Structure 1
Amino acid sequence: MLPIHRPRRNRKSEVIRDLVQETRLTTHDFIFPLFLIEGQNQTLEVKSMPGIHRFTADRIIDEVGQCVELGVKAFAPFPSINDALKDCLARESANPEGLYLKTVAEIKRQFPDIVLMTDVAMDPYSSDGHDGIVDAESGEILNDATLEVLGQMALAQARAGADIIGPSDMMDGRVAWIRRVLDENAFQHVSIMSYTAKYASAFYGPFRDALDSAPKKGDKKSYQMNPANKREALRELALDEAEGADMVMVKPALSYLDVIHAVKERTHLPVTAYNVSGEYAMVKAAAQNGWLDGERTMLEVLTSIKRAGADAILTYFAKEAAAVLRRG
């Protein structure tokens, strides 16, 4: 009788399992998205995202401080802008006295050693709710005209203290455009993390609730990617590399683990993944109903994203996961 192969020998005790563990989560893996709102001294929970809040500028400073204590040191703030400040050209996005840029500057002043990743897209500031300029007659999203707006937005964010610019708009050519604008204005040190494969996903709903940033008409399918496509993501990857991206991203994460893996296999750039609001909300809702162990499921989800190839994960679980990891 031939000997039985016994892989279970590597699972027989906790110490051995730890010795041979292939994928490990640490707080260094996380970028924590934060929601910023107008006002003072307010912290408002997002109903569709239990445990996640929208913060006024003074309170967001407190939240960053708590996260830093837990070991989370990278953040991605997103603003909710008053409708009165929105227009079709997203002019408020480059206002140095506006909510977003003033808050970015203040966070960086108080926490100079953290990393701030800022969002470049028109939708938070647009009266149309789209990531690009909308042609008034046809409804088409005007790619090349939008690049000028994105470049000015990125430059304003760099001046405010952003470490990483995150173009999430999915306009063609925006990485090269933004890189040129930054370099010409002596911001060669500011990185670009491109949303390389951002899919037109149903998992964004709670995020749009939190920021009231849904399109007023139509949808985003003419610029965000078809969820059925994987090879297209690799074409986007090649273009972003050629245009000067420093890091690349797949969004969403959990339903696109195959895309994360495929991107990781084809690039030497760091790969990030965005564990988006709907993915977070699913786990939280199931846990609240007693259908899943929320803590174990959270760690399993994050581990799966890293195992697929993500070097960093934007996740609303960042603060909670950091607390669990610290506890051991």
Structure 2
Amino acid sequence: MSLYLKPEHVLQGGYCNATLRKLQEPNTSIQTHNVMYPVFLLENDDAIQPVSSMPNVYRYGVNQLIPALADLVKKGLESILVFGIIETLPKDANGSHADSDSNPVMRALPKLKAAFPGLVVACDVCLCPYTSHGHCGVLQPTGVIDHAASVKRIAEVALSYAMSGADIVAPSDMMDNRIKAIKEALFSTNLGNKVSVLSYSCKFASSMYGPFRETMKSAPLAGDRKCYQLPPGAAGLAARAAARDVAEGADLLMVKPGLPYLDIVRQTKDLHPHHPLFVYQVSGEYAMISRSGDNNEMETTLMEMLLCMRRAGADCIITYFAPLVLDIISKRTAH
């Protein structure tokens, strides 16, 4: 990498397409570019499975996902966040199928970009859905994280997704220094100005991920993730984590979960006002809101929460409610 192309000095990865440019102009309204839709990809291209713990959420094979997205794109959907799920491919200690030719994300990316050239496709980058132990990195024989091996493997996966067509790679593992490794990998293949890095910079060891882990089949077999996800009360660590990722060249930042951590959203935006900030409204939040009343009450509750996230500093909200939000936006626009 050239001396003058240090990851932290490169800006263009953060506004390399129209949707990301709009996120550089924050306000408090809720428009289509302020919403990102998380989707779950199955190995079987023709499968569709309801998620029992999350009403109206499905897991799709790519041949089912494309028609489902087509309607949403017509309504204004501008970005998605893709998670891969494997059920028949073998899992191993290094997460070998995280970026193999058989991986559902790797196979779907060219099809998604061909079907929706203007749709921003972000890919979650983590090893936990693909490792036999269910942790987000590679483990030492003692069972603790092997930091160097984990960062190397995560950067390899991110680069594979980028080379297959991802517009954004989003490392969710919370390993130190993986942003730098990913940026260097992108620059090594001339993708540093074309593919953005969305860092799960402030990801907390929350109790609100249960439905997601059930959906992804990614719960750790032993132990937990508290040694690399942030303690819920640790505002100082969240500030340090975001600062670390900014220094390493992250284009976009994230706070996860959303509603219980709006103070962290505000803190992160205040400390890094020039970085677009994403907030992940996680599966536990979705489950609670889904059961908050009849349809009218639920919609009112949802939009209030999204507005509060925007007020706190969120530029884009990752939410399973994206289809409903698009309908609400469309209705408001029509009036």
So what's the TM-score if we normalise by structure 1?
Answer: 0.90
Shift of 1:232: 1.1
Shift of 1:83: 5.0
Distance in 1 between residues matched to 2:68 and 2:265, nearest whole Å? 30
CA RMSD in angstroms comes to: 1.4
Contact conserved, 2:291 with 2:298, CA < 8 A, in 1?
Answer: no
**Structure with max Cα Rg:** 1
1:279 and 2:282 matched: no
1:133 and 2:138 matched: yes
Shift of 1:57: 1.3
CA shift digits 1:113-149 (9 cap, x unpaired): 110111111011111111001223x210111110111
1:237 and 2:239 matched: no
The equivalent of 2:53 in structure 1 is 48
SS of the residue corresponding to residue 291 of structure 2 reads: helix
The equivalent of 1:65 in structure 2 is 70
Q: Where do 5+ consecutive residues of structure 1 fail to align?
A: 1-21
Distance in 1 between residues matched to 2:315 and 2:210, nearest whole Å? 25
Equivalence map 1:308-319=2 (5 Å): 308-319=312-323
More displaced 10-residue stretch of structure 1: 116-125 or 75-84: 75-84
CA shift digits 1:5-31 (9 cap, x unpaired): xxxxxxxxxxxxxxxxx8321111011
CA shift digits 1:41-99 (9 cap, x unpaired): 33221111101111111011112211101111100111111254211101111213422
Percent identity of paired positions between Structure 1 and Structure 2: 37
Residue identity in the other structure for 1:174: R
The equivalent of 2:276 in structure 1 is 270
Distance in 1 between residues matched to 2:295 and 2:324, nearest whole Å? 19
Q: Where do 5+ consecutive residues of structure 2 fail to align?
A: 1-26
Equivalence map 1:152-171=2 (5 Å): 152-171=156-175
Shift of 1:291: 10
Shift of 1:309: 0.2
Call closer, same or farther: CA 1:54–1:183 in 2, change over 3 Å.
Answer: same
The equivalent of 1:143 in structure 2 is 147
Call closer, same or farther: CA 1:121–1:40 in 2, change over 3 Å.
Answer: closer
Distance in 1 between residues matched to 2:47 and 2:148, nearest whole Å? 39
Contact conserved, 2:95 with 2:130, CA < 8 A, in 1?
Answer: yes
Residue identity in the other structure for 2:305: V
CA shift digits 1:217-249 (9 cap, x unpaired): 110000000001111111111111110000110
The equivalent of 2:118 in structure 1 is 113
Call closer, same or farther: CA 1:73–1:292 in 2, change over 3 Å.
Answer: closer
1:306 and 2:310 matched: yes
Match of 1:182 among 183, 186, 197: 186
SS of the residue corresponding to residue 101 of structure 2 reads: coil
Residue identity in the other structure for 2:269: K
1:206 and 2:223 matched: no
Distance in 2 between residues matched to 1:65 and 1:307, nearest whole Å? 30
Residue identity in the other structure for 1:266: L
Shift of 1:212: 0.7
Contact conserved, 2:41 with 2:62, CA < 8 A, in 1?
Answer: yes
Residue identity in the other structure for 1:303: L
SS of the residue corresponding to residue 124 of structure 2 reads: strand
Residue identity in the other structure for 1:239: R
Distance in 1 between residues matched to 2:330 and 2:67, nearest whole Å? 20
The equivalent of 2:221 in structure 1 is 216
Extract structure 1 runs of 4+ deviating beyond 3 A.
Answer: none
The equivalent of 1:35 in structure 2 is 40
SS of the residue corresponding to residue 202 of structure 2 reads: strand
Match of 1:257 among 237, 257, 262: 262
SS of the residue corresponding to residue 49 of structure 2 reads: strand
Call closer, same or farther: CA 1:162–1:35 in 2, change over 3 Å.
Answer: same
- Pairs aligned (count): 304
Call closer, same or farther: CA 1:180–1:25 in 2, change over 3 Å.
Answer: same
SS of the residue corresponding to residue 247 of structure 2 reads: helix
Distance in 2 between residues matched to 1:73 and 1:122, nearest whole Å? 26
So what's the TM-score if we normalise by structure 2?
Answer: 0.88
Distance in 1 between residues matched to 2:284 and 2:231, nearest whole Å? 17
Contact conserved, 2:43 with 2:103, CA < 8 A, in 1?
Answer: no
Contact conserved, 2:138 with 2:147, CA < 8 A, in 1?
Answer: yes
SS of the residue corresponding to residue 183 of structure 2 reads: helix
Call closer, same or farther: CA 1:129–1:292 in 2, change over 3 Å.
Answer: farther
Distance in 2 between residues matched to 1:302 and 1:206, nearest whole Å? 20
1:77 and 2:82 matched: yes
Distance in 2 between residues matched to 1:264 and 1:244, nearest whole Å? 16
Contact conserved, 1:33 with 1:77, CA < 8 A, in 2?
Answer: yes
CA shift digits 1:197-226 (9 cap, x unpaired): 000001111111111111111100000000
